[in-house]
Amino acid sequence: MQIFNTMSRKKETFVPLIPGRVSIYSCGPTVYNYFHLGNARPFITFDTLRRYFEYQGYQVDFVQNFTDIDDKMINKANAEGTTVKELADQFIKEYYVDAKGLNIKEATHHPRATESMVEIVRLIETLVEKGYAYTADDGVYYSVRKFPDYCGLSHFDIDELVQNSRKDVLVDSGKQDPVDFALWKFRKEIEPFWPSPWGEGRPGWHIECSAMSKKYLGESIDIHSGGQDLIFPHHENEIAQSEAASGKQFVRYWMHNGFINVNGEKMSKSEGNFFLVRDVANKFGYMPIRLFMLSSHYRTPINYTPDLLNAAASGFARIQTAMKTLNFVLASPLEPSNAEAAAAQKASLEEACRLAVEHFEAAMDDDLNTADALGSIFELVRIANTESAAPLSQEGLVLAKDTLERLCEVMGFSFVEEGAIPQEVLDLAEARQVAKKERNFALADSLRAEIQQRGYRITDTPQGPHIEAEA
C-alpha cells in the first residue's frame, strides 16, 4: 500500500514496525459540543483506513483520544454553570451516538486526557531533565530551538514564525522565545487543576497527545492522523516533545485529511458556518454522509452543498436496493431450466467479482483512494441488478452478494434490516396484484400511490412484488 506521508510530501510504501500489526493514533474531538461535518471527516476517513488494514489481515491497534481539558472546555463549562467533567461526560456520550450512526468502529482505546495525568507529568519531567523545557512565570514551556528538526513536518520557517508572533506574550509569561509553547499551565481561578512538581495546574494541549500515544502505543508508531489544520502547531509540537524525550522517531507515516468547506471557507465552530452531523443525518441519513465523505479523495477539500448530500443519498439507496434485491432473489433456491445459461451467468459473475475486487484493492492501495474504489461497488451494483432480473445461478449471485457485502464493510456502510411490513401495506399490495390480473391498471396505480403514501415502495420482479421502506 502506498501512503502519502505529510513529512516527506510524497507517497511511500507502507511497511509496519511490527509485521502483521499496525499502530495508529488519530486525534479525536474536543468534547464541548456535538461534532459537525468537518469534525466527522477524519473520523470517517481513518476508520476506513483501519477497516482496510483489517481487510488485509492486519491486527490494528487504533487509538483516538478525547480532549477533555482545554480552554474551550473550561470556557463552555463556566458559561453553562457546569463542571468540565460533566461537560465532557455529556458530549462523549453524544459522540458515541453520532459515531454509531456513521458506523465508526470504537477505537482499541479512547483515552481521556484527564485520565493520563501521571503519564503527562512524567513526560514533562523527562523533557525538563533533558534540558528541553524550562519553568516560566505562568507555567512550564518547551524550548523549541533546542530541537533541531522543528518544522520538519510543516516545512515552515522558524524565523518567520518569530516575526509573526505576539511580542507581548514574552513579557506576560516569561517565555524565553516567542515560538516556545506551554507544556504545563499554572493554576488559575475557576479552572480544574492537578498536582505537579512545578505547582498545581493543567497540561498544555500538545503534551496530552504525546503522552497518550506513548501510553497506549509506545514510543514509535506507524501512523498518526488528523485534519490538515493540526499539522502546525499541534503535530509539529507532538514530534518535538516525543522525539526529544525518547530519542526515537515518533511517527513513520503522517496522514492528514482536507477540509470540508462552506462557500470556499473551512467549516468550523468558530466561524459559525458548520452543520452538525446529527442535523444533516435527520434529513439525509447517516450512511449518505459517509458515502459523501468517501466520494472524494481524503486529501482534497470538499465544498459542502445539500445537492451533494442528495446525490449521496441516491447513491446509497442504489447500493441498499441492490443488496435487498439479491437477498430477495436468494431467499428461495434457484432451479434454472437451462443449465448452460446458468453456467454462463455463474462464470460472468465470477469474472465481474474478480475484476471488482482487483480494482477496489488497487484503488485503496493507492493512498486510500476511496473515490476510485467506490467505482467497483457501483459496478457490482449495476451487474447485480441486471443479473437479478433473470436469476439463474445460485452460486454466482451468492458470490456477487458476498463480494458486495465485503467491499461495503471496508467502506463502513451498514444496512439496517427492514422491519416487518405492516399488514395493511401487505393487503394493499395483494389488492394491487388482483387489480393487475384483472387489467384494472387505474386501480393498480392508485393502490401503488397509497402504498407510497404509507412510506413504502413496491417493485415488480419476476418473482413477484417486492416491498421495502422508502430510503
Interatomic CA distance for residues 384 and 321, integer angstroms:
10
Q: Which residues, other chains included, contact 170 with Cβ-Cβ below 8 Å and sequence gap of 6+?
A: 176, 177, 178
Q: In what order do the strands lie in the sheet with 21-26?
A: 59-64, 21-26, 221-227, 251-257
What are the angstrom distances between the C-alpha of 37 and each of 131, 147, 272, 326?
41, 36, 13, 32
Q: Please state, in angstroms and rounded to a whole number, the distance separating the CA atoms of residues 152 and 344.
A: 58
Nearest to 33 by CA among 81, 94, 79, 83: 94
Element of type H or E holding 13: strand 10-13
Contacts of 31 (CB under 8 A, 6+ apart): 66, 67, 68, 73, 87, 88, 91, 92, 95
| Annotated binding-site residue? 188 | no
- 238 marked ligand binding residue: yes
Phi, psi of 131 (to 5 degrees): 85, 15
Residue 27 in marked binding region: yes
Among candidates 319, 343, 357, 339, which has minimal Cα distance to 395? 343
Q: What are residue 326's phi and psi, to 5 degrees?
A: -60, -45
Q: Taking the mean position of all CA atoms in its chain, how far away is CA 208?
A: 21
Find out whether 353 is annotated in a ligand binding site: no
Alpha helices, DSSP H only, in 295-369?
Answer: 306-329, 339-365
Short-list 316, 321, 396, 319, CA closest to 352? 396
Q: What is the DSSP letter of 115?
A: G
**Phi/psi class of residue 18: alpha, beta or left (left: φ > 0; alpha: ψ in -120 to 50)?**
beta
First-residue to last-residue Cα distance in the chain: 35
| Per-residue cell: 387 | 443479473
CA 198: distance to chain centroid? 38
209 annotated among ligand-binding-site residues? yes
Q: Known binding site for ATP: residues?
A: 269
Q: Known binding site for Zn(2+): residues?
A: 27, 209, 234, 238
Q: Known binding site: residues?
A: 27, 209, 234, 238, 269
